[in-house]
Amino acid sequence: MLGVLAVAACSSSSPEDALNEAAERLQASLESRQAGAAARQLHDDFLAQQHYNRQAARQQMLGLFMRYKNVNILVVNRQCQLDTGFNYRGQCTAQVAVTGAQGLIPERLEYYRVNSVWELEEGEWLLYRLDWE
C-alpha cells in the first residue's frame, strides 16, 4: 500500500504542474521513510481501496518502514489532469513498482496500476482517493 500511496498526485506554474509536484513530493517522502510528511499530504477524508482511511495508511507506512531499511518507488507513465468543471479536483494515473530491502538487493517487488483523486485545499493538493490493481 505504501508504494501505491507514492503514485498518486500532481505545484508550480500551472495547477496541473502543481498536482504533479505534489505526487513527486509524496513519492520522495515515502522513499525517505518520512511517514509524517506523507500523511500530511493525505486529505482528512482520505480513502484507499474503499476501506483504508488516513490512520490505516499511516500504520501501513510505519510497518513497511520498520520492515525495510530501503524503500524505492519507480513511477512510469504518470499522467495528471484536472477534472473538467472542478478546478479544485484532479486525477492521476500511473504504473508503479515498489521495492523493499534491508541492504542493496531488493527482497520484495510489487507492481501496481494506480488511480488517484486529489483535492486542492488552501492552495495545497491533498490525496483524497486511491485505488490500485
**Contact yes or no for 20/11 (Cβ under 8 A):** no
What is the value of pTM for the model shown? 0.83
Give the domain range for residue 70.
2-132
CATH number at 70 reads: 3.10.450.50
Residue type at 65?
F
- Domains held by the chain: number: 1
Q: Is 14 left (phi over 0), alpha (psi -120 to 50) or beta?
A: beta
What DSSP string runs through 68-80? -SEEEEEEEEEEE
Q: How many CA atoms lie within 13 A of 51 on its CB side?
A: 0
Across residues 3-23, what is the average pLDDT?
68
The confidence score (pLDDT) of residue 42 equals: 97
Separation of CA 111 from chain center: 14
Cell of residue 91, nine digits: 486525477
The confidence score (pLDDT) of residue 1 equals: 53
Q: What is the pLDDT of residues 29-72, one digit of tens each?
A: 988 989 999 999 999 999 999 999 999 999 998 988 888 888 88
Q: What is the pLDDT of residues 89-127, one digit of tens each?
A: 999 999 999 888 888 777 888 899 999 999 999 999 999
Q: What angle do CA 107, 108, 113 make, to 5 degrees?
A: 160
Cell of residue 36, nine digits: 509524517
